[in-house]
Amino acid sequence: MDGIINVNKPSGPTSFAIVAQIRRLTKERRVGHGGTLDPMATGVLPVFLGRATSLVEYLQEYHKTYLADIILGVATDTYDAHGRVMATIDASGILLPDVESALDAFRGNIDQIPPAFSAVKHEGQRLYELARQGQFFKTDPRPVTIYRLTIVNFRPPLLTLDIECSKGTYIRSLASDLGQKLGIGAHLGGLVRTSYGPFNINDTVDLTRMTEAAASGAIAKFIQPPDTVLSSWSAVILTEEQERIVGFGRQLAIEAGDVQRLRAYGRDGRLFALLKLDHETGAWQPDKVFGITANYLQCDKIS
C-alpha cells in the first residue's frame, strides 16, 4: 500500500496518534506524516504509506496555509488555549488600524523564537518535556517567512487571520508575539491548516470515513499516488535504455530546460526515479531510484 492519504485531523489527538490509527486501518507497517499539527489544531495532515514515506522530505518545501483564531488580551505559558493564563488585559481598546499596523512587523522574512512548549530540542530533550519539569529554555531565533497575513474577522477579543507561511513557522509564537506588539498579550485559540502544498482541506478525508472504508476493504480509494507530492516538478518519460542507465545509478543526458530536478517515469507510466542536475557535467544524476523495472516502488538512495 504505497501512497498518501490527505487526512482531516480532528482536534484532540496528536499527529503521531493519527499515524498509529492509519497504521491499524491500513495494516501498513511504514507510515509517516508530513508536518506536525499540535493536538488542538485541525485540518490537512498528509499521511504517507509504504514506500511513499521516502518522499516525505519533499513536502517540507511547500508553503502552508492556516486559519488562526487569536484571543487578544490573554497570555498563556504555552501560547495556546491549553496553557496556564499568565496575564489578562482588556482588549476592547484595540482598534482595527492598531492590528493592521502591528501585523506589518510579521510579514515577509522574520526571525521567530519557538515556544517553550514545542518539539524543538535542547541538549537532546524536547522543550515541552523540559517545560513540564519546570525548566524553560529560550532557543535562538529562527528565520521563517510569512507570505500572506490577512485579517478575516476582528471582533475583540477574537481576531481571525488567514496565514500563508514557510516551514518551521509556529503560529502559536506568531499569536503571542502579536499580543506583545499590541501591548496586551494574546494566545492561539484555534487553528485549522487549510492547505499544505498540493494538499487542500477540501480534498481531505476524516477518520470516521476511513474507519468505515477499512471495515469494507475499500480504504484504498482514499490513497493518492506517491508522486502527488512531486506535482510541481517537471517530468520526463524514460526509454528502455535510459531506464537501464538510471537503474544502475549512472548519469543521463536529457534536454529538460531550465530546471534543477526531474521526476522520471518508466515506460509503464510509474514513477521510476528522481533526478538532479549535476552542474559540473551538465548531466542528470539519479538521486532516488524506485526499482529497475518500476513495477513497484523500491526506493534506494543513491550516494
* Statement: residue 24 has pLDDT above 80: yes
Query: What are the structural domains, with CATH classification, of the chain?
Result: 3-62+198-227 (3.30.2350.10), 64-189 (3.30.2350.10), 233-301 (2.30.130.10)
Q: Say how many Å lie between the first and final Cα of the chain, rounded.
A: 26
- What mean pLDDT, rounded, does the chain reach? 89
Q: Is residue 251 predicted with pLDDT exceeding 90?
A: yes
Instruction: Identify the bridge partners of residue 263 per DSSP, sorted by sequence position.
Output: 235, 274
Q: What pLDDT score was predicted for residue 294?
A: 37
Answer whether the bond into residue 46 is a cis peptide, omega within 30°.
no
Quote the Cα angle for 149-155-160, to 5°: 30
Q: Is the pLDDT of residue 159 over 70?
A: yes
94-151 confidence digits (pLDDT tens): 999 999 999 999 999 999 988 866 555 545 555 555 445 455 556 778 999 999 999 9
Q: Is 149 in a helix, a strand, or coil?
A: strand
For 80-106, the pLDDT digits (tens) are 998 899 999 999 999 999 999 999 999
> Which one from 38, 69, 80, 177 is the annotated catalytic residue?
38
Residue 90: active-site member: no
